[in-house]
Homo-oligomer: A and B are copies of this chain.
Amino acid sequence: MRSTAGNAELALLLEVASTPKPGNVDRHREYPDLRFEHFLAGAVGAREGLAAATDASVGLGEAFRRAVEGMADQRGGNTQFGAVLLLVPLVRAAATDECSPAAATRMVEETTVEDAANFYRAFEYVDVAVRDPPEGMEPLDVRRGADAVEHLRDRSITLAEVMELAAGRDGVAAEWTGGFERTFRAGTVIADGEGPVPDRAAETYLWLLSREPDTFVATNHGQRVAHSVMVRAQEAREGGPDLVEAFAESLVEDGINPGTTADVTAGGLFVALERDGIDV
Protein backbone atom coordinates (compact mmCIF):
# COMPACT_ATOMS: atom_id res chain seq x y z
CA MET A 1 0.00 0.00 0.00
CA ARG A 2 1.27 3.43 -0.96
CA SER A 3 2.48 5.56 1.95
CA THR A 4 0.90 8.92 2.76
CA ALA A 5 4.02 10.70 1.48
CA GLY A 6 3.84 8.52 -1.64
CA ASN A 7 0.22 9.58 -2.21
CA ALA A 8 1.23 13.24 -1.86
CA GLU A 9 4.05 12.87 -4.37
CA LEU A 10 1.78 10.94 -6.74
CA ALA A 11 -0.82 13.73 -6.44
CA LEU A 12 1.79 16.22 -7.67
CA LEU A 13 2.69 13.92 -10.57
CA LEU A 14 -0.91 13.19 -11.56
CA GLU A 15 -1.69 16.91 -11.46
CA VAL A 16 0.98 17.77 -14.02
CA ALA A 17 0.13 14.70 -16.12
CA SER A 18 -3.53 15.76 -16.34
CA THR A 19 -4.43 17.33 -19.67
CA PRO A 20 -5.82 19.64 -20.93
CA LYS A 21 -5.34 22.01 -18.01
CA PRO A 22 -5.61 25.42 -19.69
CA GLY A 23 -2.84 27.81 -18.68
CA ASN A 24 -0.73 25.27 -16.80
CA VAL A 25 2.08 22.96 -17.83
CA ASP A 26 0.77 19.49 -18.54
CA ARG A 27 1.75 16.38 -20.43
CA HIS A 28 1.11 18.09 -23.77
CA ARG A 29 2.00 21.72 -23.01
CA GLU A 30 5.16 23.27 -21.65
CA TYR A 31 7.22 26.43 -21.96
CA PRO A 32 10.87 26.53 -23.13
CA ASP A 33 12.08 27.32 -19.59
CA LEU A 34 9.34 25.61 -17.58
CA ARG A 35 9.05 22.07 -18.80
CA PHE A 36 7.18 18.91 -17.91
CA GLU A 37 10.32 17.27 -16.51
CA HIS A 38 10.86 20.16 -14.10
CA PHE A 39 7.60 19.15 -12.43
CA LEU A 40 8.67 15.49 -12.31
CA ALA A 41 11.94 16.47 -10.60
CA GLY A 42 10.04 18.90 -8.36
CA ALA A 43 7.70 16.16 -7.16
CA VAL A 44 10.55 13.70 -6.54
CA GLY A 45 12.53 16.41 -4.73
CA ALA A 46 9.57 17.30 -2.51
CA ARG A 47 9.20 13.70 -1.36
CA GLU A 48 11.58 13.85 1.60
CA GLY A 49 9.89 16.96 3.05
CA LEU A 50 6.46 15.39 2.48
CA ALA A 51 7.67 12.34 4.40
CA ALA A 52 8.89 14.67 7.18
CA ALA A 53 5.35 16.08 7.32
CA THR A 54 4.11 12.61 8.37
CA ASP A 55 6.44 12.76 11.41
CA ALA A 56 4.79 14.72 14.23
CA SER A 57 8.21 15.40 15.78
CA VAL A 58 9.16 17.63 12.82
CA GLY A 59 7.61 21.10 12.74
CA LEU A 60 5.06 21.61 9.96
CA GLY A 61 6.95 24.68 8.75
CA GLU A 62 10.23 22.77 8.75
CA ALA A 63 8.68 19.93 6.74
CA PHE A 64 7.40 22.51 4.25
CA ARG A 65 10.78 24.25 4.06
CA ARG A 66 12.50 20.92 3.32
CA ALA A 67 9.92 19.98 0.70
CA VAL A 68 10.44 23.30 -1.10
CA GLU A 69 14.22 22.98 -0.85
CA GLY A 70 14.00 19.58 -2.54
CA MET A 71 11.40 20.76 -5.06
CA ALA A 72 13.66 23.63 -6.13
CA ASP A 73 16.45 21.23 -7.19
CA GLN A 74 15.64 21.51 -10.92
CA ARG A 75 16.05 24.22 -13.53
CA GLY A 76 12.43 25.34 -13.88
CA GLY A 77 12.20 27.43 -10.72
CA ASN A 78 8.89 27.49 -8.89
CA THR A 79 7.04 24.40 -10.01
CA GLN A 80 4.86 23.35 -7.05
CA PHE A 81 5.32 25.80 -4.16
CA GLY A 82 1.59 26.37 -3.66
CA ALA A 83 0.67 22.72 -4.10
CA VAL A 84 3.24 21.64 -1.52
CA LEU A 85 1.99 24.31 0.89
CA LEU A 86 -1.53 22.95 0.49
CA LEU A 87 -0.42 19.34 0.87
CA VAL A 88 1.68 19.65 4.03
CA PRO A 89 -1.17 20.05 6.58
CA LEU A 90 -3.26 17.45 4.72
CA VAL A 91 -0.36 14.99 4.85
CA ARG A 92 0.17 15.60 8.54
CA ALA A 93 -3.55 15.21 9.27
CA ALA A 94 -3.74 11.97 7.27
CA ALA A 95 -0.63 10.50 8.91
CA THR A 96 -1.30 11.48 12.51
CA ASP A 97 -5.11 11.70 12.68
CA GLU A 98 -7.34 11.42 9.63
CA CYS A 99 -7.67 12.94 6.18
CA SER A 100 -10.57 15.29 7.00
CA PRO A 101 -11.19 19.05 7.00
CA ALA A 102 -11.44 19.05 10.81
CA ALA A 103 -8.14 17.25 11.34
CA ALA A 104 -6.34 19.38 8.74
CA THR A 105 -7.69 22.51 10.42
CA ARG A 106 -6.35 21.26 13.75
CA MET A 107 -2.90 20.94 12.17
CA VAL A 108 -3.18 24.55 11.02
CA GLU A 109 -4.27 25.74 14.46
CA GLU A 110 -1.34 24.00 16.13
CA THR A 111 1.26 25.86 14.05
CA THR A 112 3.80 28.01 15.87
CA VAL A 113 5.99 31.05 15.35
CA GLU A 114 8.82 28.69 14.38
CA ASP A 115 6.57 27.19 11.68
CA ALA A 116 6.01 30.72 10.37
CA ALA A 117 9.77 31.33 10.38
CA ASN A 118 10.38 28.19 8.30
CA PHE A 119 7.59 29.17 5.93
CA TYR A 120 9.42 32.44 5.27
CA ARG A 121 12.74 30.64 4.88
CA ALA A 122 11.19 28.51 2.11
CA PHE A 123 10.88 31.63 -0.06
CA GLU A 124 14.68 31.75 -0.25
CA TYR A 125 14.76 28.72 -2.57
CA VAL A 126 12.55 29.96 -5.39
CA ASP A 127 11.02 33.13 -6.80
CA VAL A 128 7.33 33.05 -5.98
CA ALA A 129 5.04 35.63 -7.55
CA VAL A 130 3.15 37.38 -4.75
CA ARG A 131 1.29 40.65 -4.37
CA ASP A 132 2.48 43.59 -2.30
CA PRO A 133 1.40 43.12 1.30
CA PRO A 134 -1.42 45.30 2.71
CA GLU A 135 -0.38 48.67 4.11
CA GLY A 136 1.45 48.36 7.40
CA MET A 137 2.31 44.74 6.68
CA GLU A 138 5.53 45.43 4.75
CA PRO A 139 7.73 43.81 7.45
CA LEU A 140 5.85 40.55 6.76
CA ASP A 141 6.35 40.62 2.99
CA VAL A 142 7.25 37.01 2.15
CA ARG A 143 9.77 38.30 -0.39
CA ARG A 144 11.91 39.32 2.58
CA GLY A 145 12.43 35.59 3.26
CA ALA A 146 14.50 34.88 6.36
CA ASP A 147 14.82 38.64 7.00
CA ALA A 148 11.22 38.71 8.16
CA VAL A 149 11.84 36.11 10.85
CA GLU A 150 12.85 38.58 13.57
CA HIS A 151 9.65 40.52 13.02
CA LEU A 152 7.59 37.32 13.29
CA ARG A 153 9.28 36.51 16.60
CA ASP A 154 8.85 40.04 17.99
CA ARG A 155 5.14 39.92 17.28
CA SER A 156 4.66 36.19 18.07
CA ILE A 157 2.99 35.54 14.75
CA THR A 158 2.20 31.87 14.02
CA LEU A 159 1.96 30.28 10.59
CA ALA A 160 -1.83 30.09 11.00
CA GLU A 161 -1.85 33.87 11.53
CA VAL A 162 0.36 34.44 8.49
CA MET A 163 -2.20 32.50 6.47
CA GLU A 164 -5.07 34.55 7.94
CA LEU A 165 -3.33 37.71 6.77
CA ALA A 166 -2.93 36.30 3.22
CA ALA A 167 -6.27 34.52 2.87
CA GLY A 168 -7.96 37.47 1.18
CA ARG A 169 -5.57 37.48 -1.74
CA ASP A 170 -4.16 33.94 -1.91
CA GLY A 171 -6.27 30.90 -2.66
CA VAL A 172 -3.97 28.42 -0.92
CA ALA A 173 -3.92 30.52 2.27
CA ALA A 174 -7.73 30.69 2.00
CA GLU A 175 -7.81 26.89 2.01
CA TRP A 176 -5.65 26.78 5.15
CA THR A 177 -7.99 29.12 6.99
CA GLY A 178 -11.28 27.94 5.50
CA GLY A 179 -11.28 24.25 6.35
CA PHE A 180 -9.74 23.24 2.99
CA GLU A 181 -13.24 23.39 1.57
CA ARG A 182 -12.45 23.52 -2.15
CA THR A 183 -9.69 20.94 -1.78
CA PHE A 184 -11.96 18.36 -0.17
CA ARG A 185 -14.77 19.08 -2.64
CA ALA A 186 -12.31 18.58 -5.49
CA GLY A 187 -11.26 15.30 -3.87
CA THR A 188 -14.86 14.12 -3.80
CA VAL A 189 -15.44 15.08 -7.44
CA ILE A 190 -12.28 13.21 -8.50
CA ALA A 191 -13.15 10.17 -6.38
CA ASP A 192 -16.74 10.05 -7.67
CA GLY A 193 -15.66 10.41 -11.30
CA GLU A 194 -15.16 7.68 -13.86
CA GLY A 195 -12.40 6.92 -16.33
CA PRO A 196 -8.66 7.53 -16.04
CA VAL A 197 -7.69 9.60 -13.01
CA PRO A 198 -5.82 12.29 -15.02
CA ASP A 199 -8.95 12.89 -17.12
CA ARG A 200 -11.02 13.33 -13.97
CA ALA A 201 -8.41 15.71 -12.55
CA ALA A 202 -8.40 17.81 -15.74
CA GLU A 203 -12.20 18.09 -15.61
CA THR A 204 -12.06 19.01 -11.94
CA TYR A 205 -9.44 21.67 -12.67
CA LEU A 206 -11.69 23.30 -15.26
CA TRP A 207 -14.69 23.12 -12.93
CA LEU A 208 -12.71 24.79 -10.10
CA LEU A 209 -11.45 27.45 -12.52
CA SER A 210 -15.01 28.21 -13.64
CA ARG A 211 -16.23 28.75 -10.08
CA GLU A 212 -13.79 31.21 -8.47
CA PRO A 213 -11.25 33.69 -9.84
CA ASP A 214 -7.75 32.23 -9.63
CA THR A 215 -5.73 34.27 -7.13
CA PHE A 216 -2.42 33.60 -8.88
CA VAL A 217 -3.88 35.13 -12.07
CA ALA A 218 -5.19 38.05 -9.97
CA THR A 219 -1.71 38.54 -8.46
CA ASN A 220 -0.03 38.64 -11.86
CA HIS A 221 -2.69 40.23 -14.06
CA GLY A 222 -5.30 41.81 -11.80
CA GLN A 223 -8.82 40.97 -10.66
CA ARG A 224 -10.50 41.77 -13.96
CA VAL A 225 -8.39 39.28 -15.88
CA ALA A 226 -8.91 36.63 -13.18
CA HIS A 227 -12.67 37.15 -13.42
CA SER A 228 -12.65 36.96 -17.19
CA VAL A 229 -10.64 33.70 -17.08
CA MET A 230 -13.27 32.28 -14.73
CA VAL A 231 -16.11 33.16 -17.09
CA ARG A 232 -14.24 31.81 -20.10
CA ALA A 233 -13.53 28.56 -18.23
CA GLN A 234 -17.28 28.05 -17.82
CA GLU A 235 -17.87 28.83 -21.52
CA ALA A 236 -15.17 26.30 -22.44
CA ARG A 237 -16.76 23.65 -20.22
CA GLU A 238 -20.12 24.20 -21.90
CA GLY A 239 -18.56 24.35 -25.38
CA GLY A 240 -16.74 21.02 -25.27
CA PRO A 241 -13.23 19.80 -26.11
CA ASP A 242 -12.52 22.14 -29.05
CA LEU A 243 -13.36 25.22 -27.01
CA VAL A 244 -11.27 23.93 -24.11
CA GLU A 245 -8.30 23.55 -26.46
CA ALA A 246 -8.80 27.05 -27.90
CA PHE A 247 -9.07 28.44 -24.36
CA ALA A 248 -5.83 26.65 -23.43
CA GLU A 249 -4.01 28.07 -26.46
CA SER A 250 -5.19 31.60 -25.72
CA LEU A 251 -4.03 31.44 -22.08
CA VAL A 252 -0.58 30.25 -23.18
CA GLU A 253 -0.39 33.08 -25.74
CA ASP A 254 -1.26 35.64 -23.08
CA GLY A 255 1.05 34.10 -20.49
CA ILE A 256 -1.82 33.57 -18.07
CA ASN A 257 -1.24 30.79 -15.55
CA PRO A 258 -4.06 29.83 -13.15
CA GLY A 259 -1.56 28.25 -10.78
CA THR A 260 -3.69 28.30 -7.63
CA THR A 261 -6.38 26.24 -9.33
CA ALA A 262 -3.73 23.67 -10.24
CA ASP A 263 -2.62 23.66 -6.58
CA VAL A 264 -6.15 22.92 -5.41
CA THR A 265 -6.41 20.17 -8.03
CA ALA A 266 -3.24 18.56 -6.64
CA GLY A 267 -4.73 18.80 -3.15
CA GLY A 268 -7.94 17.18 -4.39
CA LEU A 269 -5.96 14.35 -5.98
CA PHE A 270 -4.25 13.72 -2.65
CA VAL A 271 -7.61 13.58 -0.84
CA ALA A 272 -9.00 11.16 -3.44
CA LEU A 273 -5.93 8.91 -3.13
CA GLU A 274 -5.59 9.07 0.64
CA ARG A 275 -9.12 9.44 2.00
CA ASP A 276 -11.03 7.61 -0.71
CA GLY A 277 -8.30 5.17 -1.71
CA ILE A 278 -9.00 5.52 -5.43
CA ASP A 279 -7.05 3.16 -7.67
CA VAL A 280 -4.76 4.62 -10.33
**Residues of A192-242 contacting chain B, CB below 8 A:** 196-198
Chain B's nearest CB lies how many Å from the CB of A258? 22
**Tally of A interface residues using CB under 8 Å:** 30
Task: Give the complex CA separation of A14 and B35 in angstroms.
Answer: 12
The reply to whether A280 and B37 form a contact with Cβ atoms under 8 Å apart is yes
| Chain A 1-42 near chain B by CB (<8 Å), digits 1 or 0 | 111001001100110010000000001100000011110110
Residues of B contacting A197 in the complex (Cβ-Cβ under 8 angstroms): 37
21 residue pairs from A and B, CB less than 8 Å apart:
A2-B45, A2-B73, A3-B48, A6-B44, A6-B47, A6-B70, A9-B44, A10-B40, A10-B41, A13-B13, A13-B40, A13-B44, A14-B37, A27-B27, A27-B28, A27-B36, A28-B28, A36-B198, A37-B197, A47-B47, A75-B280
The reply to whether B6 and A45 form a contact with Cβ atoms under 8 Å apart is yes
The reply to whether A196 and B17 form a contact with Cβ atoms under 8 Å apart is no
Q: How many copies does the complex hold?
A: 2
With contact pairs A10-B40, A27-B27, A41-B10 given, residues A279 and B74 touching in the complex (Cβ less than 8 Å): yes
Q: Which residue of B lies closest to A35 (CB)?
A: B196
Task: Give the complex CA separation of A280 and B47 in angstroms.
Answer: 17
The reply to whether A196 and B37 form a contact with Cβ atoms under 8 Å apart is yes
Chain B's nearest CB lies how many Å from the CB of A233? 24
Residues of B contacting A1 in the complex (Cβ-Cβ under 8 angstroms): 73
Chain B's nearest CB lies how many Å from the CB of A270? 12
Residues of B contacting A47 in the complex (Cβ-Cβ under 8 angstroms): 6, 9, 47
* Extra A-B contacts (16), CB below 8 Å, given A3-B48, A13-B44: A2-B44, A2-B73, A6-B48, A9-B44, A9-B47, A13-B13, A14-B37, A17-B37, A17-B40, A27-B27, A28-B28, A37-B280, A38-B280, A41-B280, A74-B279, A75-B280
